[in-house]
Amino acid sequence: MPSTLNVTSSDDIERAWEQWHEHLLAQFSRLLDGNRAVQLFLLVDSRATPGVEKLLQQVPRLAWVSLWRDSVIESYTDIAPYLFQIDHIALSDPGDLLTRLVRRLWKDAHNLHMLTWIWSPLSLELLSTHLRYYSRYETTERRAFFLHFYDNRILERLRSVWTEAEGQVFVSPCVEVWYRDRDWNDVVWRNEVDAALPVYRSEQFLTAEQHLELLRLGRADKLAMQLRDMYGGEFGDVLDSKLYYSISEQLERAGKYRIADKDDLLNYVVKGVMVSPRFDEHPEIHERLMRAASGEITLREALCDIDSRVLAEASKMVRLAKSPDTEVSRT
């Protein structure tokens, strides 16, 4: 598939869109040549770019639906996930309002994980009903959670915690599902059997182990959002992927000291990102962390009130980088 990983200028983005547009049309032709009655649907996570509903309303006769319809959060229309069908004939005309809408959304999402392209023989209503089933889940302890799988990163995490059979149920009404993984690689999730609606449980369940693993996999992203909220200006030029990998490394290092409390983890990660990725190797800081790990002092005591001289020395420590991609660079 065409990639937008290195797209930066407006001209680059426009050329990349043209390649993607051609790719969509080629897929339509391939499926039609195979006599497959398949439609293209676009699932949009408007939390990443609020106001999608207003754009949808500007396209006459466009059929679309919110996956939050008939839910307790239905009223949050500015950030809801929306599904709509992309007509082949309309998409073939660059001047058609539908094509212009898809182009606008694709450009808005060129550096985000907010679009999921779904090829399915189902109607919009049936496919949206299927996807709406996955908008929330319960654990075996009957705790309920909303599930934002329309964020490509969360869909990728789900695929890693689902069993093969559970993943097959999700993709069963589809021919293919296209999305981006964490590193901006285009992923094609193919259904290897004929598309059909599955038989559902009354509620979607995740086991306690699956739930905890899903939370663990999302921890770095959650901390990245917190850091951007706390130190927005410091990370203005830092790519999400680089910040994610930097935080992931700090979470791994924090495991050596058995840090589990969310506030302690945030405190540790902040220092690992803002001071030095190896700040914990400074003798005085390491001694504090080991005392906390043994229960002699709290993690809060270990990570707070560190002398400014010690932090300055820790900030100068040279990093033995795992790879260039894991370094947080502001250039």
pLDDT digits (tens, 9 = 90+) for 214-253: 999 999 999 999 998 888 778 777 888 889 999 999 999 9
Enumerate long-range contacts of 230-236, CB under 8 Å, 24 or more apart.
230/270, 231/274, 234/274, 235/330
pLDDT at 193 over 70: yes
Distance CA(214)–CA(133), nearest Å, equals 18
- Band (pLDDT 50/70/90 cuts) for residue 325 is very low
Q: What is the pTM of this model?
A: 0.86
Compute the mean pLDDT over every residue in the chain, rounded to the nearest whole number: 89
- Band (pLDDT 50/70/90 cuts) for residue 1 is low
- Band (pLDDT 50/70/90 cuts) for residue 5 is low
pLDDT at 68 over 50: yes
Least confident of 121-130, 190-199, 236-245: 236-245
Distance CA(301)–CA(292), nearest Å, equals 8
